[in-house]
Amino acid sequence: MQDFRGKKITVVGLAKSGVGAANLLHSLGAAVTVTDSKPESELAAQAARLSPGVMKALGSHPDVLFTGADLIVISPGVPLTAPPLVKAAAAGVEITGELELSYLLSGSPFIAITGTNGKSTTTTLVGLMLEAAGMKAYVGGNLGNALTDEPERLKGQDFIVAEVSSFQLETIKTFRPRVSALLNVTQDHMDRYPGMAEYADAKARVFMNQSGDDVHVANFDDAPTMALAAKAACRVARFSRKSALSFGVFVRDGNMVSTMGSGETVVLPISDIRIKGAHNVENALAAAAITLAAGAPADAVAKVLREFPGLEHRMEFVRELDGVTWYNDSKGTNVGAVEKSLEGFDQPIILIAGGLDKHSDFSPLVPLLRERVKKLILIGKAADDMYAALSGATDTVKLGYDMDEAVRLARASASPGDVVMLSPACASFDMFRNFEDRGRQFKEMVNRL
């Protein structure tokens, strides 16, 4: 464990991970100051969670907190290109993030799961599978609970199962998971990265310190992921919906099959997996490969896959009304996620999309819109750009900033046997607090119909 006593540490960003990191470092004897560009009036709830003795500099970023610090800990949403951090780096100040910090303070091995889509479902499945195998597992990270929020949970576990984002991986130095996974790489966060290569390289940092008997799990059906996995210096296990594998988990003759032990093992029939859709088959395969690499038996994997109902806001069934089925996929915040969601249905779809654009290219949606979407209803700040890119593919309507009107129009447009799906392909912050707020408001509106 690193000694932080007496160190001057600046924590940048007062989100969940910032609060957790500040309190943890203060408990370890550091002189901690948190700074955020937002004024204290907008951060009252977060500031109230800070331990007494943690100093605050809110509403600005004083240079001395950066160039005069012994260590700077940044929240994932803070880019390394921010001017105060550039100044600090030039002054030789070490900059790190919550993921590296939790690793340095942990006494337990890590499983780290990243990818553009499917991270939260896969991470949750792995935690449940390890528990079904009788192992002690703490699940945390980017899926909601900061790893530093409960530092006592970082010790005494068989595994810490962490969902990690490209933003978190940018600041790791020594972080070395026992098992890592890169589920897929599709366009996202182009408002943060110069291009896809830089985004993919950030994801690939998940295995940069692995070697020897460590295991990296890669998606055999995703060419960018496999190109990155070729750089791994550890064993690589694969998962695939389409191909048999010598070391991995795959689908054959309607069954999930593992070759990660001695010989082949049929884990369960694919039809037994409770969560439906092609993307969830991939998530199930990935979770199985990760869990088997961690030493759990196949029967624990099968048990969880038969029982797990899925996560909120991820292709979540809302209700059936007059023969029309409604789904909340508010976590579909990028084009790749929406593609996977559309592929999961054979019925005609009415799609509600739009929000805050992340400099995305929406054109990959065109073939699926033509094939499967009966009506496209666009809302939010990106509606104009999406209309320009997609309106030729299907019947398309722009509604501005009114989710309630979108729901009413979807109902009026739907026939028995249709599916209505909220899957925005955009962030939520133009109209909602976050994707959870967007999904819950959508469900409330649907349930009022």
Kindly state whether residues 39 and 117 are assigned to the same domain: no
- Domain count along the chain: 3
pLDDT for 24-36, tens place per residue? 999 999 999 999 9
Do 300 and 338 fall within a single domain?
Answer: no
Residues 162 and 30 reside in one and the same domain? no
Task: Report the b/e string of 306-331 with b at 16+ CB within 10 A.
Answer: eebebbebbbbebeeeeebbbbbbbb
Q: Is residue 1 part of a domain?
A: no
Answer whether residue 17 shows pLDDT above 90: no
- State the pLDDT at residue 388: 96
Q: Which DSSP state fits 404?
A: H
Tell me: the pLDDT tens digits for 110-133? Answer: 999 999 889 999 999 999 999 999
Judged against a pLDDT cut of 80, whether residue 188 lies above it is answered with: no
Residues tagged active-site: 119, 142, 189
233 — pLDDT class (breaks 50, 70, 90): very high
- Mean per-residue pLDDT for 130-140? 96
CATH code of residue 78 = 3.40.50.720
Question: What CATH number should be reported for the domain holding residue 357?
Answer: 3.90.190.20
CATH of the domain at 138: 3.40.1190.10
Task: Give the Å distances, CA to CA, from 294 to 118, 180, 220, 345.
Answer: 19, 10, 19, 33
| 67 plus 132 within the same structural domain | no
Element (H, E) at 302: helix 298-307
Instruction: Examine the fold and report which residue of 307, 334, 353 is the final residue of a domain before the chain moves on.
Output: 307
- Considering the domain architecture, whether residues 336 and 294 belong to the same structural domain is answered as no
Q: What is the pLDDT of residue 375?
A: 98
Same domain, 224 and 331: no
Domain membership of residue 336 (yes or no) is yes
Host H or E run for residue 25 = helix 16-27
pLDDT of residue 114: 96
User: Do 128 and 64 share a structural domain?
Assistant: no
Residue 101 lies in a domain: no
Q: Which of 56-70, 119-133, 270-284, 338-352 has the highest average model confidence (pLDDT)? A: 119-133
- The answer to whether residues 1 and 8 touch, using CB atoms and an 8 Å cutoff, is no
Whether 291 maps to a domain, the answer reads yes
- In the chain, what percentage of residues exceed pLDDT 90? 78
| Bridge partners for 421 per DSSP | 327, 351
> Domain for residue 204, yes or no?
yes
Is 100 a member of any domain? no
Mean pLDDT for all residues in the chain: 93
Are both 270 and 327 inside the same structural domain?
A: no
In a domain, 110, yes or no: yes
Which range marks the domain in which residue 87 is found? 8-95
Residues 204 and 175 in one domain: yes
Last residue within a domain, chosen from 95, 116, 146: 95
Predicted confidence at residue 194, as pLDDT, reads 83
The CA distance from 160 to 138, in Å, is: 5
Instruction: Categorize the per-residue pLDDT at 397 as very low, low, confident or very high, splitting at 50, 70 and 90.
Output: very high
Q: How far is CA 23 from the centre of its chain?
A: 25
Strand order in the sheet with 349-353: 316-321, 324-328, 419-422, 349-353, 373-378, 395-398
Residues 243-271: what's their mean pLDDT? Answer: 96
Least confidently predicted of 146-155, 170-179, 298-307, 394-403:
146-155
pLDDT tops 90 at residue 7? yes
Do residue 288 and residue 193 come from a single domain? Answer: yes
Please give the single-letter amino acid code of residue 74. Answer: I
Position 1 confidence tier, pLDDT thresholds 50, 70, 90: low
| 361 in the same domain as 246 | no
Residue 213 lies in a domain: yes
Question: Would you say residue 92 has pLDDT above 90?
Answer: yes
Q: Pick the last residue of a domain from 257, 287, 307.
A: 307
Does 413 share its domain with 339?
A: yes
pLDDT digits over 195-209, tens only?
A: 889 999 999 999 999
